[in-house]
Amino acid sequence: MAVPGKVAAFRLPPLPTVGEIIKLFRLKAQKQLSQNFLLDLRLTDKIVKQAGELKNAHVCEVGPGPGGITRSILSAGVEQLLLIEKDPRFIPGLQMLSEAAPGKVRIVHGDVLTYKMEKAFPKHLKKNWEDEPPDIHIIGNLPFSVSTPLIIKWLENVSKKDGPFIYGRTQMTLTFQKEVAERLTANPGSKQRSRLSIMSQHLCTVEKCFIIPGQAFVPKPEVDVAVVHFTPLVQPKIQQPFELVEKVVRSVFQFRRKYCFRGIETLFPESGRLKRTEQLMMTANVDPTLRPFQLSMSQFRNLCDMYRKMCDEDPGLFVYDYREELKQKKIKHSLKTVSQPEQTEEEDQL
């Protein structure tokens, strides 16, 4: 008997298990797509619980596959669930779930990297950036091959307040290889500290929730998996354009085992490189003998702020590409070495 004044919890009708769905539609994880299925509903429930209160929320699940996490999301009593699935083999099984939850599920057969997330949810859910996060969540057991490019894309969206973040500070609960999760959450001084650490932590509160052992997946991956929760910050810790921050951070970590001076050098053309590197490090108050992983967020902020100032004074500086300069040098060198024997050959013939 229902308790008076309480809305009855949504329950899915009896359905084939996820394992039976896999057999029924002859689904097989494809290694080239780095697919791994999670069949244990206790674990899928645990992942969904990390997202917070989902009752009457709007959720987008990325890469639902055979629908394990999908069931847990629906059981949490969501208002609407958008499923974005690239692999057409999974669509029939997801349609079965959609029919079991009438009016709650929308299935998109497409690639999340190109899908226009700014149109994914109703306009009335929008909140101001300074407000509490909207009642919108992104959840996904991401294939290893797509997880890093996807989180970088979404972090850029956070920085520009577009894509799924046009609605406000949309929260994300995602799975990553354990090693990637450690990079995302690494503190200064940790050997796991990397470009991902800075790019994610300067824009979001990043929490590593729990580890899922590899043997929980089918097929079993060679690594363990971690669940990570992201909440965009009201104010980024580095208040510069995403592209500038990424360029500085990428340059610093280019030679991660050497002094940070070595990586920062690559921000400048060969002509005047040493002088400008010293100038940047001095004005940013950064010790040139620190390793990249030892730098604090405030030191990265100083580097970005001072580099921005230098770019404003020299508009051509930001477009300078160290790798392109190296590439041109190699081409010139190879042309020289190719032309040298030809001259000798001509001389021999004469």
Q: Report how far Cα 62 is from the mean position of its chain's Cα atoms.
A: 12
Rounded-to-integer distance, Cα 293 and Cα 277, Å: 19
Other beta carbons within 10 angstroms of residue 244's beta carbon come to 16
Is 61 within 8 Å of 140 (Cβ atoms)?
Answer: yes
Calpha distance 215→234 (Å, rounded) = 38
| Helices 68-75, 41-50: inter-axial angle, 10-degree rounding | 60
Per DSSP, 257 falls in state T
- Beta-carbon neighbour count of residue 224 at 10 Å? 16
| Separation of alpha carbons 282 and 286, rounded Å | 6
Residues forming the annotated binding site for S-adenosyl-L-methionine? 36, 38, 63, 85, 111, 141
What's the distance, CA 89 to chain centroid?
25
Give, to the nearest 10 degrees, the angle between helix 91-100 and helix 68-75.
20
Grouping H, G, I as helix, E, B as strand and the rest as coil, residue 129 is: coil
> Which residues line the annotated binding site?
36, 38, 63, 85, 111, 141
Tokens of 230: 């992201």
Integer Cα distance of 264 and 252 in angstroms: 5
